[in-house]
A and B are shown apart, each in its own frame.
Chain A
Amino acid sequence: MNFAFSDEQEMLRQSARDFLKTHSSLERVRRMREDTIGFSPELWRRMAEAGWLAAVFPEAYGGLGLGYVDLICIQEELGAGLTPEPILSTVTLGGNAVLFGCNEARKQDLLPRIGAGELMMTLAAYELEGRYDLSRVETTATATGAGFALSGQKCFVPEADTSDKLVVSARVKAGAAKGDAVTLFLVDAESSGLALSPIRTVDGRRRSQVTLQEVEVPAEAVLGGVGQGLEILEKTIDRAIVALCAEMVGGMQAALDMSVAYSRERVQFGRPIGSFQALKHLAANMYVTLETARSATYYAAMAIDGDQPDARAAVSCAKALCSDGYLQISKAAIQMHGGIGFTEEHDVHLYYKRALAANVTFGDAAFHRDRYARVKGF
């Protein structure tokens, strides 16, 4: 019975922490919000060198064969620093879709390149009408002679404008019953008919509306088989959720730390404001929220690695708690800072902005409560 990290995992965590201390800062994060590509290729290269991008891929594909319990050690620290480098989209979305959907040759080709930091990918699965429901897909894939032509609109696709390839979900027979024939396609970013409209986002991360107009893809572009999209998507997104939750846990911790530190320094009425019980209780509530969300996240990572039957429920449990928790904590963090928390200049709002975006990524708390109930059979 050991629900704790190994020494190697703790070292991984420490190395991520050291990396950030050397290479990133909230000031850099702010600059990245206005940057042309939104992350640093130099840092991405360093992350690749550190093995982080290949961490969860099997060794057969140039990976380190580690699990999500290992990945979250890195993700948590990156989340504390609000680091924008797109491990989430390229590795856990694109990489996992390839890992679970592509044939051997494709995996041998793409995964090592992702791990080496040479290939950027993302997933374009969600649509405005469908909200968080991956099966509600109106994008169509019409059979052509050589393959398929994809038409439709995907929304809020992370890092679409910096990706080399996108995994796109489409319905093979337009008008088929909901859930049937959702299929995944590997699409080159350069494809004719593919248009991206980057949007302005609350957390400064890069997202785009992606429009497909008769985008032609060869038959080999199908991941898995026709109609197998949902299965691949669920496995992929479950893992991305774990990685995102870990990032959120790191952010929650940082916001709490910032708030407690402020409460010790800020003096009003002749005493540090942290000595007032209202703030103590606010901070204590933040702490309990953080530790319960953290514990649930660690459990979800362990369940995913162990392929446990309760893994899907554990993932929804973690996301529900992190979604609500990061919002609660980041709002309370602003509150603890008083007026200064409402300034652009102070850093605390950056966590709130991230919480707002992370909340609605891969399903909010309400969606995951519902998914949990469905998975558990009530």
Chain B
Amino acid sequence: MDLNYTPEEEAFRLEARRWIDANLAEEFKRGADTGAQTSKRARVGWYKKLAEKGWLCASWPKEHGGPGWTLAQQVIFQEEASAQGAPGVDMGVYMVGPLLIEYGTEEQKTRFLPPIARADLLWCQGYSEPNAGSDLANLALRADRDGDDYVLNGQKIWTSGANEADWIFLLARTDPHSEKKQTGISFLVAPMNSPGIRIQPIKQITGESHFYETFFTDVRVPVTHRIGNENEGWTLAKRLLFHERVGLGAARSFRKTLLKLTEYARRVRVNGGAAIEDPLIRSRLAQLYIELDALRAVDYRRLTQLLRGEMPGPESSIMKLYGSELFQRMTDLALDILGPAAVLWQDRALKDLEDGWPKMAVGSRAWSIFSGTNEIQRNIIAQNVLGMPR
């Protein structure tokens, strides 16, 4: 058992660290701690620098523009970029690209891969619908064949980044009469400026609007923009659903939050002393650190499998489930330390006292819902991992 990388890998790490430091905008380095929203321009600027260096499409094969990195190098680069606050790369790079490489026609690869690799195309994902959340297969967006096109009617929801994306990749129903819902679904891509696409922001309980509803009215999408075979889109989507929301990135940001909470607990006074001196608060804080350490250890196991090129195991589900609820407990403790001041909501005068915790606590509710609700995660663990009967 050894967490160390090889000397060559460590040399690469240093190279990556230096390059990122030299090329990452200040906006990201500063924002790393505040979690503030960053501008599209800044993000695209970063992607273009990566693209120029040939480092944008880290996991792609060399013949399609990848840097030819080993898995270890990909992991190391991700760690270094995330440590300095770099934004994650676009979905085109880690979702659409790999899908096209595996399932796309030659024309599709030629049409889409180079602009993705140049950071010329930003993407958003059209999966969920008002009636298709956990039960995604229940999706109803119609894609009816008309000559060489599909005509799309319906809507998507929770489309993150729809306002900035150039293209959308989506799941649509091409066979409304299929025996099983899953076998009537196709995977399509379309430009967001297509006639008939309209977006509308969704205001979240935190006050922000990062997500959109996307409406489709008679939107024409050429059949050549279908990836994979008609009615086989579900298989493609399942491959992409492995995307980890709680990988090392999220665990690292949880740790930053916990350090911030510890600082806060040292600062705030409770019962005549610092909050951190209160035995109950201290014990809860210690437990959060303990759980975060455990999460990191689970991630080491996931990483080890990944680096061996093995099929991902249940570690990602474990991490999503455990990590999301851990984060919620963190913000719960923050509110308990805040005490009566938990009534504040982004008050300017009392900004230092509030320290952003009420908003973070409210925002934490999403973590047990997105990326597969925790109930679904538990069903998956019970059925797929433990083999309990359906």
Contact = CB atoms under 8 A, between A and B. Distances in A.
A378 B293 contact: no
Contact of B290 (A69, A305, A317, A378): A317
A284 B390 contact: no
A299 to B, nearest CB: 4
A21 interface: no
A376 interface: yes
A280 B382 contact: yes
B294 A279 contact: no
B205 interface: no
Contacts of A281: 375, 378-379, 382
Contact of A4 (B276, B287, B304, B389): B304
Contact of A3 (B3, B287, B321, B375): B3
Contacts of B283: 366, 369-370, 373
Main secondary structure of the interface of A (DSSP, over half): helix
Nearest to B1: A302
Contacts of B5: 1
List the 9 closest A-B pairs by CB distance, nearest first.
A280-B382, A295-B297, A3-B300, A284-B378, A369-B286, A274-B388, A292-B294, A284-B381, A373-B286
Which of A5, A284, A302, A376 has most B Cβ within 10 Å? Answer: A284
Interface in B121-166: none
Contacts of A291: 298, 314-315, 318
A366 B289 CA distance: 13
B224 to A, nearest CB: 42
A302 to B, nearest CB: 5
Contacts of B321: 284, 288
B367 to A, nearest CB: 15
A287 interface: yes
Contacts of A82: none
Nearest to B290: A317
Interface string A281-319: 101110110011101101101100100000001101100
A269 to B, nearest CB: 13
A200 interface: no
A4 to B, nearest CB: 5
A264 B1 contact: no
Given A3-B3, A284-B381, A370-B283, A272 B389 contact: yes
A260 B72 CA distance: 36
B388 A275 contact: yes
Given A1-B3, A2-B1, A372 B388 contact: no
B82 interface: no
A36 interface: no
A285 B307 contact: no
A2 B2 contact: yes
Interface string A347-378: 00000000000000000001001101100101
Contacts of A4: 1, 301, 304
10 contacts: A2-B304, A275-B388, A280-B378, A281-B379, A295-B298, A305-B1, A317-B290, A369-B283, A373-B286, A376-B286
